[in-house]
Structure 1
Amino acid sequence: MSSDAPVGARPPAGKTFFGHPRALSTLFLTEMWERFSFYGMRAILVLYLTAAVADGGLDLGESSANAVYGTYNAMVYLMALPGGWVADRLIGARRSVLWGGVVIAAGHYVMAIPTGWSVFAGMALIVLGTGLLKPNISTMVGDLYERDSPRRDAGFSIFYMGINLGAFIAPLITGFLGEKINWHLGFGAAAVGMTFGVLQYVLGRRNLGDAGARPADPLLGADRRRALTRVGVASVMVLAAGLVLLLAGWFTVDTVVNLLTVVTVLVTVGYFARILTDREISDTERSRMKAYVWLFLFAASFWLIYDQAGSVLNIFAADRTDRSVGGFTFPASWLQSVNPILIIIGAPLAAALWLKLGHRVSTPTKFAVGLVLNGLSFVLMAAAARAAVGGDLVSPLWLVAVYAIQVAGELSLSPVGLSATTKLAPVKYASQMLGLWFLATAVGDAIGGQVARLADTWSQPVYFLTFGLASVVLGLAAVMFTRQIRQLMAGIH
């Protein structure tokens, strides 16, 4: 997906938003409400899945619930690939964002229906809608600026503040409603949030000018019909596979989760194989992609641990944390707001640090720092779990400290990885590399969901210590091989 604005895509002149195009406010609020709905639902998902039926939950085992959570996150990021293709080749970014928002809202409303099946049907809709919205709204932000505009980075910084603002507020509202009143009411609050996002997007469309109005590389005539036929055939095959599983009695939560995990890994392997074997890319580009494979593996390993905040750590917050303050027991999901507020505080500091260090610290080294910090967060969690052995409740400050370490790791890896993705991309695949970067999160979350099953069978101190030390060792190994990776990067820092 290209973030370079086509000629004539500038929004109309007039009022500004903090000195930026007025359209940025429309996209800012759309993204804020979409993240409100996403993180609001995610904050209570595992808690709902594992809650007893008498408490309004599904009474799903922790093992399966953790796997469902990881796979759901993986599918959200995996669908960014077809979502970007739909925008680039068929309907444009603007309509993709609109229809994505509508489908997301529908998914949350379905989840608000107080039945067991509604949650899984709703999640399927949210996955499809997020795949349309998430990658393409970022493309539209890029369309508001000239390629070399000095305001471009500042505009994205404001936009990303909307992400973390929505992620911070959401668990406070949906968590209270879901845990204290009714789970489906919490899901309903997420639906209302996404509805606000869609409404203001429609009302603010006049500010967008031509940004995202047309596909970047549209399919026409016979090519379009051929592509739509293939999409239709693929959809029928997926439905047929689901029907076969259902008739054979294999259509269970665990079967679907395991199948989707395998699909995520196979898609990733196929994507890399396609690029690395393409004879049209130069030897230098192929070398850089080999370096990117290592960075990708490091990133996937990072997200494998990091995104367990909403599953394993969320359950720990619910079951083993003393959340009483002045006679009021605050919802476990409220601790999910710690991460985004720390990112809001830490992002400017991290940006200033990397700017000051310049090229003295290479990209592979920054990835290694992220892995080590991520591992240390789980080592600290092992100590917290040890303190909770025997049924004792521990202070929530343990989790706050863990999230602080993880955020420091994220700020060392995530923005740096996004930048490296654009710099190492072969020219032919430049517009697709953002989707490939999303795949790192998808793979990490999919495998992480399977790994998290062990948290239900291993003792928690052993679980956290094992994977924490594994991440630290991987980070140290990354430092040892930094020189070789930099050589593969062929002049890219």
Structure 2
Amino acid sequence: MQTGSSSQPNFFDTKVLGHPAGLFVLFFTEMWERFSFYGMRVLLIQFLTMSVIGLNPGWGWEVADAGALFATYAMLLYITPIFGGILADRYIGYRWAVVIGSLVMTLGHAFMALEGEMFMYLGLACLVAGTGFFKPNMTSILSEMYKSVPQKKDGAYTIFYMGVNAGAFFGMMLCGYLGERVGWHYGFGLAGIFMLLGTLQFWLAKPIFGSIGNVPKKGEKTIDNDPELADLTQEDKDALKKNPFTTVDYILITVSTIIGLLYAFDDPFRIIAKFRLFPETILGYDGKVVGIIFGLIVFLYLVITRISRYTKVVRDRMIAVIIFAFFTIFFWMSFEQGATSLVLFARDNTQRMMIGNSALLFNIFNTLLTVIPLLIITWVLYLLAKQTIKKAFASNIILAITFIGVWGAAIWMLNRDWSSHAYEVSYSAVKEAVLTEDGTHKIDESNNPVFKFTPISEAFSAKEGDEIVEVTTIITDRVEMEAGTSIKIYEELERFHVLTSDIEHPLREGYSKQGKTPHIIEARVTELKDGQVEITASWFSILNSFFIIAFASLVSKLWDSKYNPPAAIKYGLGLIIMAIGFGVLAYGANGISEGTRVSMMWLVFAYLFHTLGELFSSPVGLSYVSKLVPARMIAFMFGMWYLAIAIGNNLAAQVGGQIENITEKYSLSTFFLIFTVVPIVAGLIVIALNPLMKKLMHGVK
């Protein structure tokens, strides 16, 4: 394969912030892809679990079923890149793979923007397939660009990683806001628009890259001249040549792959088609469990027999990778709760209403949080345009259009929050005593009796003898009203909304189709209050990206200092620090009852610890696979690593989907304790294995 310097002699002459302009084309391409991916992801679990009737209706699925569907989706996202990387490396080249993946993902988002169950499934399938082409090949282009200057590669990956987090940040913020405030499909659609524009700007920037990312040539790198294998003896290199995949190996790979895919698709088939892919029972035991155990045995036999054929140094290094991959499962099983249970916790259990000075402070903070990163990235865009406007004029125009669009969306979002009004509203309700299981009046922590207030509405009338009282609540809306105004209100997710005529009509229509009467309440504005704002559930998800951008450079300096710990210590600490975040949530959720909401600060601190744990763990991952694994096994071992991440993501969604069941049987605090205890135990084991890991790695650091 051609190097960056030979294929494009002047490639490094056009620089932005000390790096080739092409790096920032990749930066923005990855940014828009992550924008679309995370923008969709933060909406999906909410959409699936929202009531089928309401102001912003969803599918009304049980949380467990929604988690199971998301588990399959998340697992496949890390399996398809294995095949996409192989296809690009051998046949179509990295650039075409990125373009194909981007277009397929754009089609997926377009499907999800449409109404209809089939479109949703087609959309998810396209996103999985498109990610398989896109995900592994962006970094391959980046790696190829820096072949002739490897000393600059670490800095390039840091900049690229910032693009990843910038895209995730704005995707979750803007798509999440649009989806929650206007409609889920609008959020899905916005993600697709920026995915399409990102694809166009990448393709039109082709002149900047020369032949980098083209279809590879055969025979350019062999085991004997591969610089990554320079530390191996000739005996080890000869052993690599003599260890091709056998027919039995391919059969075992096929069998374990088929069983793995059956496992991945079993839940969606059960939920959607009411059909199980595994037999109900095998030899008297659960068929799915037996099938999974058999598949694991086949896969472990394959791995053990492959590794045993190598010499000691190569064999030991691959064992080290397998150990890291095993503990990776526990990291992602916990960390990826951010896609399921933490989104639901933010929506259903976190106090997101702010009023008065608190609302003002949040609006100021959120404005700075939105505008400052946008200004910085826009400045980078300006620097890129200065260097590349003549060579890739059309690409720069597309990039300009994307940023006009994202600025427009951001200003629209901020304006809605700044221009909202708060009102005290009164309505009639039936007052009833809340009883304990033994029939006595329930008492709260302040020793006061607890009452339930049921609003009188079109669907609920007071009976003779009921105690009717006037209840007040605070409502926020962009409509200006005066005290004494009669209004109609509707409760959704424990928050009241003002019903204007354009909102009321589709709501009544939805109830009518179900043969039900809507709970529309007659109310009256009693007082104008200070400003109020409701934070979207999606907003909390941006904290991970924000904290990464804030702390990445500090942690990076630690790794460059004399205090840089060994890989096993680093990974173990990452697991433990992340677990502390869940411990914070377990403490904050301790003892809360149904309908109670906790302070948003518990969730803020949880995301802080989760991010610090990620920053400790992220240096270990794929970099150690590339350092420890020989060329002939690199694709297989990368596949194993992605499989471990896939299993972790799958388990994350499966267990996260059980949040309601575990909370009902035990408590919400118990649910979060699972993700506190398991990663801490795994982290301590990894740290204890440090002497063994150093021995197995044979000098690789």
What TM-score does the superposition give when structure 1 sets the normalisation length?
0.87
| Kept after mapping to 2: 8 A contact 1:276/1:286 | no
Q: Where does residue 475 of structure 1 map in the other structure? A: 683
Residue 387 (structure 1) shift: 5.4
Q: 1:304 to 1:250 in 2, by over 3 A?
A: closer
Q: Where does residue 634 of structure 2 map in the other structure? A: 430
Q: Where does residue 205 of structure 1 map in the other structure? A: 206
The 3-state SS of whatever aligns with 2:77 is helix
Matches within 5 A, 1:406-417: 406-417=610-621
Unpaired segments of 5 or more residues in structure 2?
220-250, 280-286, 360-531
**Equivalent of 1:290, from 319, 330, 334?**
319
Stretch deviating more after TM superposition (19-28 or 277-286):
277-286
**Equivalent of 1:252, from 273, 276, 301?**
273
Q: Where does residue 166 of structure 2 map in the other structure? A: 165
Q: What is the CA–CA distance in structure 2 between the aligned matches of 1:266 and 1:111, rounded to whole Å?
A: 36
The 3-state SS of whatever aligns with 2:590 is helix
Q: Deviations over 1:289-331 (max 9, x none)?
A: 1122211111110000000111001000000111123322121
Stretch deviating more after TM superposition (318-327 or 296-305):
318-327
Question: After TM superposition, which residue ranges in structure 1, 4 or more long, deviate above 6 angstroms?
Answer: 256-272
Is 2:191 the partner of 1:190? yes
Q: Deviations over 1:159-211 (max 9, x none)?
A: 11110000011111111111111100000000001011111012111111111
Q: Where does residue 457 of structure 1 map in the other structure? A: 661
Matches within 5 A, 1:52-91: 52-54=51-53, 55-91=56-92
Q: What is the CA–CA distance in structure 1 between the aligned matches of 2:217 and 2:295, rounded to whole Å?
A: 24
Q: Where does residue 281 of structure 1 map in the other structure? A: 310
**Equivalent of 1:372, from 576, 600, 606?**
576
Is 2:662 the partner of 1:491? no
Q: What is the CA–CA distance in structure 1 between the aligned matches of 2:573 and 2:561, rounded to whole Å?
A: 17
The structure where helix makes up a greater share of residues is 1
Q: What is the CA–CA distance in structure 1 between the aligned matches of 2:117 and 2:574, rounded to whole Å?
A: 38
Q: Where does residue 441 of structure 2 map in the other structure? A: none
| Kept after mapping to 1: 8 A contact 2:178/2:187 | yes
| Kept after mapping to 1: 8 A contact 2:266/2:277 | no
Q: Where does residue 350 of structure 2 map in the other structure? A: 321
Q: What is the CA–CA distance in structure 2 between the aligned matches of 1:253 and 1:429, rounded to whole Å?
A: 40
Q: Where does residue 216 of structure 2 map in the other structure? A: 215
Q: Deviations over 1:367-403 (max 9, x none)?
A: 1111111222212111122254342211211111101
Q: 1:129 to 1:266 in 2, by over 3 A?
A: farther
Matches within 5 A, 1:29-428: 29-54=28-53, 55-215=56-216, 217=218, 252=273, 273-278=301-306, 281-325=310-354, 326=359, 327-357=532-562, 361-386=565-590, 388-428=592-632
Residue 478 (structure 1) shift: 2.0
Stretch deviating more after TM superposition (378-387 or 404-413):
378-387
Q: 1:395 to 1:172 in 2, by over 3 A?
A: same
Q: What is the CA–CA distance in structure 1 between the aligned matches of 2:644 and 2:135, rounded to whole Å?
A: 16
Q: Which amino acid counterpart does residue 462 of structure 1 have in structure 2? A: T
The 3-state SS of whatever aligns with 1:151 is helix
Q: Deviations over 1:120-143 (max 9, x none)?
A: 210110010011001101100111
Q: What is the CA–CA distance in structure 2 between the aligned matches of 1:210 and 1:255, rounded to whole Å?
A: 48
The 3-state SS of whatever aligns with 1:328 is strand
Q: What is the CA–CA distance in structure 2 between the aligned matches of 1:339 and 1:245, rounded to whole Å?
A: 31
| Kept after mapping to 2: 8 A contact 1:112/1:185 | yes
Q: What is the CA–CA distance in structure 2 between the aligned matches of 1:216 and 1:399, rounded to whole Å?
A: 50
Q: What is the CA–CA distance in structure 1 between the aligned matches of 2:333 and 2:96, rounded to whole Å?
A: 33
Q: 1:458 to 1:358 in 2, by over 3 A?
A: same
Q: Deviations over 1:436-468 (max 9, x none)?
A: 433222110112222223322112211111331
The 3-state SS of whatever aligns with 1:382 is helix
Q: Where does residue 442 of structure 1 map in the other structure? A: 646
Q: What is the CA–CA distance in structure 1 between the aligned matches of 2:45 and 2:271, rounded to whole Å?
A: 23
Residue 145 (structure 1) shift: 1.5
Q: Deviations over 1:399-421 (max 9, x none)?
A: 11101101111111122223222
Q: 1:431 to 1:476 in 2, by over 3 A?
A: same
Q: What is the CA–CA distance in structure 2 between the aligned matches of 1:118 and 1:204, rounded to whole Å?
A: 32
Residue 68 (structure 1) shift: 2.0
Residue 264 (structure 1) shift: 9.9
Q: Where does residue 16 of structure 1 map in the other structure? A: 15
| Kept after mapping to 1: 8 A contact 2:63/2:658 | no
Stretch deviating more after TM superposition (11-20 or 62-71):
11-20
Q: What is the CA–CA distance in structure 1 between the aligned matches of 2:135 and 2:292, rounded to whole Å?
A: 18
Unpaired segments of 5 or more residues in structure 1?
219-229
| Kept after mapping to 1: 8 A contact 2:39/2:176 | yes
| Kept after mapping to 2: 8 A contact 1:78/1:264 | no
The 3-state SS of whatever aligns with 1:126 is helix
Q: What is the CA–CA distance in structure 2 between the aligned matches of 1:256 and 1:396, rounded to whole Å?
A: 42
Q: Which amino acid counterpart does residue 313 of structure 1 have in structure 2? A: L
RMSD, aligned α-carbons: 3.3
Q: Which amino acid counterpart does residue 52 of structure 1 have in structure 2? A: S
Task: Give % identity.
Answer: 32
